Every structure is written in C-alpha cells, then in structure tokens.
Amino acid sequence: MEPVVLFRKEGHVAIFTLNRPKAMNAVSAEVSTMFEKHMDAFEADDSLWVGIINSSHPKVFCAGADLKSISAGGNIATAKGGFAGLVNYPRTKPLIACVDGFALAGGCEIVLACDLVVASSKAMFGVPEVKRSLIAAAGGLFRLPQQLPKNIAMELILTGDRLPCEKMLQFGFVNTMTDPGTEATMAAAMDLANRITVNAPLAVFEAKACVDEFTTRGQDLADMKRSGKGMAMLSRTPDYKEGPRAFIEKRAPVWTAQKAPPRKQKSKL
C-alpha cells in the first residue's frame, strides 16, 4: 500500500500530497502521524524553504476527519501538530494550500493552517461540522473569522454550507484561482512558491514569524484550547454519537439537543 501522505522535494520546495483517495483523504490517526513526520523533515531540512500541500484525489482535497475513527473513539490528532499533524504544528516556513476540489471540515482547516491558497474554479470550501453535532475545533472557529468578514465566516460556521472558489477569491481567502485540473493548480502553486524562493530564505522565515506573532500566533493556542473544550463538551452528548452514526448509516440525523450531564465533582477526601 502507498503511504497515506506522500512527500517529495522539487528544488527548494517540499510537496506534501494527501494520498488516501478511497476515503476522500479523510484524516485518520495514520494520516496525522505521517504528516507530522514529514513536517519534521521539512522543518529540519535547510534546503527546503517553502511547502505545498495538494491531493491525489481528482475531486477532493480533503473531506475532513475520518468519522468512522471518531465514532470508534479513535484519536486522530498528534501531540505536537494536532489535527492532521499540522494545524497546531510550530512551523517556521511558509505553506501553500493547492486545492482542486472539495476542502471541507478538517480539510478546510488544513487550508486555514496554511499561509497562502491556490485553488481551481471547481474548489469548494466549508466547515459542515454542525451538521454532525461537531464543531470546527481544529482552527476553523477562529481562523475563518480572521481570514474572512465575520458575517461570512459565521454563515459558513453556523449553516455548515460551502462557498465556491470564486466567492472565496472575492473575500481574499484565495490568492490565485486557476482553471480546473491538478496540473493547472500545481503549476500556479509552484509559480507562487518560486516567487518566494528567489528571496533570502532567512528573511522570509523572519517575516513570517513577525506576521504570525503580530496577528494570530500569540492567541492561537488559547483559541485552540477553547475550541477543544467545546468539542469535549459535545462529546458527552447523545447528539455527538448520533451525527457520525447517521453519516455512516447514510440517513438524516435525529437531534435531541440533550445537554451533557454535569461532571461529577472529585472528592476532596
């Protein structure tokens, strides 16, 4: 079997390819572990200055978390990188998301974790977690409002609906829109990467570090912790089990809105 995440070098550019096509690149524990391993190699290699994340699936960038793993109680995050081994990773080098298809739920959150986005006209973005009694706890709840007008971000978060690339381009979420097709999107992503790699790498890294510190990085860990707290609360409700179960059984979910029971207080004796 091929690795679920491929990694190769092209000059000063590292190319990560999500490679679980039969599962629409759904993020499993194996995907997260392997992605983090490749991120470690990327960060440790002084000859690699920019990374590109793309997909081997012709229609899907990433469909998000593997709901079968979630339903079975599996852990699909790593200690260092978090979801997909990426969204929380303490990286210093720029990443470009190269999207030619659907980037939904955790797939959209992988895109949000990147610094730049190249997408084709058939790309679609969304965080449909609320449709399964989940929340976009891997960065979507705070990174979407950082990168989009708040009311547009709220529309995506609360409806679970998706927006096409053209709209996301208008809102500044996408840097470059291309014709459909992997070749077109990868060519544009490589062009953008090469425009970066002609510059002094240490200056690029320091510029990125400053922007991260000035805008988001200082708050990201606290925001991620709060998102995780929300997901932990939902995980104790009946609807949390019903959402993934309905998805697996290919039926409409039946919501109860029954709240999580209060946690038992630990005895001080």
- pLDDT mean over 139-150: 94
Where is pLDDT greater, at 207 or 216? 207
Residue 265 DSSP symbol: P
Marked catalytic residue, from 2, 30, 36, 129: 129
Whole-angstrom distance, CA of residue 258 vs CA of residue 236: 10
pLDDT at 241: 84
- pLDDT mean over 88-106: 96
pLDDT at 244: 77
| 129 belongs to the catalytic site | yes
Complete domains list, the chain, with CATH: 5-181+192-198+207-218 (3.90.226.10)
Angle at the Cα of 32 (from 181 to 164), degrees rounded to 5?
A: 35
Whole-angstrom distance, CA of residue 170 vs CA of residue 110: 20
**Percentage of the chain modeled with pLDDT above 90:** 71
Whole-angstrom distance, CA of residue 3 vs CA of residue 65: 18
- pLDDT mean over 153-177: 97
24: left (phi over 0), alpha (psi -120 to 50) or beta: left
- The answer on pLDDT for 261 being more than 90 is no
pTM higher than 0.85 for the full model? yes
User: Residue 228: pLDDT band by 50, 70, 90 thresholds?
Assistant: confident
Residue 85 DSSP symbol: T
Question: Is 104:127 a contact under the CB 8 Å cutoff?
Answer: yes
pLDDT at 177: 98
pLDDT at 71: 67
SS3 (DSSP) at 227: helix
- pLDDT mean over 18-39: 95
Helix crossing, 140-147 with 217-234: angle to 10°? 140
**Tokens 């079975």, located at residue:** 72
User: Residue 73: pLDDT band by 50, 70, 90 thresholds?
Assistant: low
| 155 belongs to the catalytic site | no
Marked catalytic residue, from 30, 109, 213, 242: 109
- Phi then psi dihedrals of residue 139, to 5 deg: 115, -20
Where is pLDDT greater, at 227 or 24? 24
Q: What is the tens place of the pLDDT at every residue in 194-211?
A: 999 999 999 999 999 999
pLDDT at 217: 57
Give a three-class secondary structure readout of 91-157: CCCCEEEEECCEEECHHHHHHHHCCEEEEECCCEEECHHHHHCCCCCCCHHHHHHHHCCHHHHHHHH
Most confident of the ranges 131-135, 204-208, 224-228, 256-260: 204-208
- The answer on pLDDT for 220 being more than 80 is no
